[in-house]
């Protein structure tokens, strides 16, 4: 466990400090690095938000709707988990790139990056909300109905409060995943620095150019953000567990 995880990761942080704190700051605030970090964070937030809405809607559809072919859809949702990121990137590029059969060209554009991130984060919110919806006590909804609540009120006051923790957890996971995504963005974004280069691609490029310290610095920033998200998630789960 330590050999593979802890030591290497601490090495990253250590190396990033090789040029001292000043060097660290310099590496991170270089225009290229800064731009990639900004793009990554903004895109990830956007993607997390879209997932919050579409993911919950999809989970609802899978649990409450009697749509034929639900099982197929359900299996499909897991595809982004199983598919290699580079293949996802290739697939998205083929549909939404320069030779797009649907006439939508997002290559070399930020929206291309967003679409790639949407693909890889698709299952997260769906899979956290789905089991909660399944377990939801239908009788609570019936009780609310017998007390006079309309279907909208039932959704807002009974269903929603009970799935919010799951929604939040899924969104946090989606955010963390989007932040660290590499493979799917490589092809469709064209890696134009300042325009479509995400943080992980930037790190990769710095490595290729032998700027190991610079790469480590940006990597450390990403690690810190991931850590913060994981901590937040853990706190959230403990708070939710207390409410019982």
CB of 148 to other proteins, least distance (A): 5
The answer to whether 38 contacts other proteins (rule: CB under 8 A) is: no
The answer to whether 76 contacts other proteins (rule: CB under 8 A) is: yes
Within residues 88-147, the interface with other proteins by CB under 8 A covers 88, 90-92, 94-95, 101-102, 115, 118-119, 122, 130-131, 134, 137, 139-140, 142-147
The answer to whether 156 contacts other proteins (rule: CB under 8 A) is: no
Of the candidate spans 21-29, 41-49, 105-113, 171-179, the one that interacts with other proteins by CB under 8 A turns out to be: 171-179
Report the residue from 28, 109, 207, 236 that binds other proteins according to the rule CB under 8 A: 207
Report the residue from 38, 49, 86, 239 that binds other proteins according to the rule CB under 8 A: 86
Rounded to an integer, what distance in angstroms lies between the CA atom of residue 212 and that of residue 204? 10
Of the candidate spans 28-36, 41-49, 105-113, 176-184, the one that interacts with other proteins by CB under 8 A turns out to be: 176-184
Integer angstrom CA distances of residue 98 from 72, 73, 101, 136, 223: 31, 29, 9, 46, 34
Report the residue from 54, 108, 109, 232 that binds other proteins according to the rule CB under 8 A: 54
CB of 153 to other proteins, least distance (A): 6
Of 104, 101, 127, 124, the residue nearest 181 (C-alpha): 124
CB atoms within 10 A of CB 244: 4
Of the candidate spans 25-33, 41-49, 85-93, 105-113, the one that interacts with other proteins by CB under 8 A turns out to be: 85-93
CA atoms within 13 A on the CB side of 179: 23
CB of 21 to other proteins, least distance (A): 19
Q: Yes or no: say if 191 and 201 are a contact pair by the CB < 8 Å rule.
A: yes
**Alpha helices for the chain (secondary structure H):** 7-16, 20-29, 31-64, 70-77, 79-82, 85-96, 110-135, 138-146, 151-154, 160-180, 183-189, 199-208, 212-243
CB of 105 to other proteins, least distance (A): 14
The answer to whether 191 contacts other proteins (rule: CB under 8 A) is: no
Q: Yes or no: say if 107 and 94 are a contact pair by the CB < 8 Å rule.
A: no
């Amino acid at each position: 466990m330590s050999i593979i995880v802890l030591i290497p990761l601490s090495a990253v942080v250590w190396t990033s400090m090789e040029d001292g704190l000043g060097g660290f700051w310099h590496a991170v605030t270089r225009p290229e690095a800064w731009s990639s970090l900004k793009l990554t964070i903004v895109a990830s937030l956007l993607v997390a938000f879209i997932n919050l809405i579409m993911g919950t809607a999809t989970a609802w559809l899978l649990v409450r709707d009697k749509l034929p072919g639900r099982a197929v859809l359900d299996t499909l949702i897991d595809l982004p988990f199983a598919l290699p990121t580079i293949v996802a990137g290739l697939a998205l590029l083929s549909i939404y790139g320069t030779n797009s059969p649907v006439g939508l060209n997002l290559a070399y554009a930020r929206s291309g990056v967003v679409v790639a991130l949407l693909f890889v984060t698709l299952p997260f919110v769906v899979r956290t909300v789905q089991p909660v919806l399944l377990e939801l006590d239908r009788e609570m909804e019936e009780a609310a109905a017998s007390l006079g609540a309309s279907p909208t009120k039932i959704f807002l006051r009974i269903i929603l409060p009970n799935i919010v923790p799951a929604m939040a957890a899924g969104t946090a996971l989606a955010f963390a995943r989007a932040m660290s995504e590499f493979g799917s963005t490589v092809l469709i974004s064209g890696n134009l620095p300042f325009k479509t280069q995400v943080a992980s691609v930037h790190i990769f490029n710095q490595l290729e150019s032998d700027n190991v310290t610079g790469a480590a610095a940006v990597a450390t920033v990403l690690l810190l953000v991931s850590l913060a998200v994981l901590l937040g998630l853990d706190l959230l789960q403990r708070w939710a567990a207390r409410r019982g």
